[in-house]
Amino acid sequence: MRVLPEGWAWTQLIDVTESIPNIKPEDYPNKEFSYIDISSINNSTNQIIEPKRINGSEAPSRARRPVRNGDVLFSNVRTYLRNIALVTSTVNADICSTGFTVLRPNESVESQFLFRYVLTDEFIDRVSPTQTGTHYPATSDRAVLAEYLPLPPLAEQRRIVAKLETLLGKVDACQQRLAKIPVILKRFRQAVLAAACSGELTVDWRAENANDYILLTHTEIDENAIIELPIGWAAITLNECCTKVIDGNYGADYPKKDEFLSSGVPFLTSAAIGEDGKIIDAEIKFISSEKHSILKKARTTLGDVLFTNRGARVGATTLLTDSKFANSNIGPQVTRLAANLERLLPTYLFYWMRNPFFLNVMKDKNGGSAMNFLNLTVTKSLPIFLPPLAEQQEIVCRVEALFQLADQLEARYKRAKAQVDKLQQSILAKAFRGELVPTEAELARREGRAYESAAALLERLRQTRKGLTPATKPKSRPPKSPASNGLLFD
């Protein structure tokens, strides 16, 4: 343990908190309780959101711990997730889950001070190794309460809390502003795709090249899916501009669970296709060469566009550009589109299938339910607005340039977010090293007065709990020079 500032003391949490007996809500079957479980904690803001309303007769077995304003709730489960919150007057809560250690401060510690400390890396790093269990790692009340807290005098605690509120408020405001950036970038990318696939992105290009390319004609498709297109564009179906529109392998040939390997020929399921248009490496399955030789139905080639055809993620789309997918397999919830290169660029098809207009058409076709499904007949009839190849190439170049700009901004956002996240912990670390505000010992020396050190405060409260009332309140004399108060242990 580190050396503390003058007037501070290391003390266990059990010495600065009150014992709270559990209750049984079922003993009050007609009473309605406001109940906090782990899911009620927002671990990004460390606030309590939407406590559940339960009757005593229907209370879950873990609903046992009474709470009140000022209590600090520390989740014992997966402590590194920091499901930690302070019960405030704005939260109408009666009980919480036994998955929390309820830290109810006594007179020696401010609730905000305690709350901020258990959020520090220092505390989390000490308590996390006490967890047991593999699938549901959790620590215990005893382990949490046995941990140590660096305790300043009360007046200093209040100054630290006030300073933290100011500094962390600024950090929080910065985090809120940063949180808007991913939303803005997502809207930007959608706007780029909308402009690209409607012809707006290349208005100037067409004006310069109108006489240099062959005009296309419309095909009869769903009239509701057609908008006014630029001269030279055609509204046709996916089936008319693709050489393959085919679902993945299913039935008797589909690999059994024990046929999936840790390496081999890639086998792509819907889970491997990310919402961002990229393959999720961790979700790629593999099969043997022997199994691959049997699965001839839906082998992929470079340039194929794959999309998920079933479930809540219908329409997640990717373009195969990595050579490792040149001859892989796909599962039944994935549809493969192979562009007719004489009419359609694969990259343009990929962008088309991610633009807001097409996604809305797709949603209308599958009903928009959680278990929706796009069969091959419907998929083949879906529309595509097709410019001539030369304009497709120009669209692809412009979209990629704008997306590259968005990627650069996103990378800068991630770096900024990481720095701000570290700043919060840096501020907390300074606070609990006594570096954020003048210590009470320094102020007492400057003002020529006595003060009550943390050790004296703890001793006074111990005496009070034993029923002994000290004749005078123990105070520290004004020190002549700075000195360490020593440690409880090495």
**Rounded to whole angstroms, how far apart are CA atoms 383 and 356?**
13
**Rounded to whole angstroms, how far apart are CA atoms 34 and 67?**
10
Q: Distance of CA 429 to CAs 298, 332, 376, Å?
A: 56, 52, 58
Which residues are CB-contacts of 366 (< 8 A; sequence separation ≥ 6)?
314, 372, 373, 374, 378
Quick one: pLDDT at residue 488? 37
Quick one: pLDDT at residue 227? 62
Token digits for 429? 């670390």
Matching fold, domains 9-150 and 215-387? yes
**Rounded to whole angstroms, how far apart are CA atoms 122 and 99?**
21
Three-state secondary-structure class, residue 454: helix
Q: What are phi and psi of 100, to 5 degrees?
A: -110, 145
Residue count of the chain: 490
Quick one: pLDDT at residue 470? 55
Q: What are phi and psi of 116, to 5 degrees?
A: -65, -35
- CATH homologous superfamily of 9-150: DNA methylase specificity domains (3.90.220.20)
In 3D space, the residue among 488, 408, 389 whose CA is nearest the CA of residue 146 turns out to be: 488
Residue 329 DSSP symbol: E
Evaluate whether 298 touches 247 at the Cβ level (below 8 Å). Answer: yes
In 3D space, the residue among 86, 101, 102, 105 whose CA is nearest the CA of residue 131 turns out to be: 101
Q: Where are the domains of the chain?
A: 9-150, 215-387
Token digits for 167? 């500094």
- CATH homologous superfamily of 215-387: DNA methylase specificity domains (3.90.220.20)
Residue 69 DSSP symbol: T
* Number of Cβ within a 10 Å radius of residue 416: 14
Global pTM reads 0.74
**Rounded to whole angstroms, how far apart are CA atoms 117 and 38?**
20
pLDDT beneath 70, residues of the chain? 210-227, 367-371, 468-490
Q: Which helix (H) or strand (E) holds 34?
A: strand 32-36
Quick one: pLDDT at residue 464? 86
Residue 477 DSSP symbol: P
Q: What are phi and psi of 141, to 5 degrees?
A: -55, -45
Evaluate whether 68 touches 417 at the Cβ level (below 8 Å). Answer: no
**Rounded to whole angstroms, how far apart are CA atoms 233 and 386?**
5
Which residues are CB-contacts of 326 (< 8 A; sequence separation ≥ 6)?
300, 301, 302, 320
Token digits for 457? 């405060």
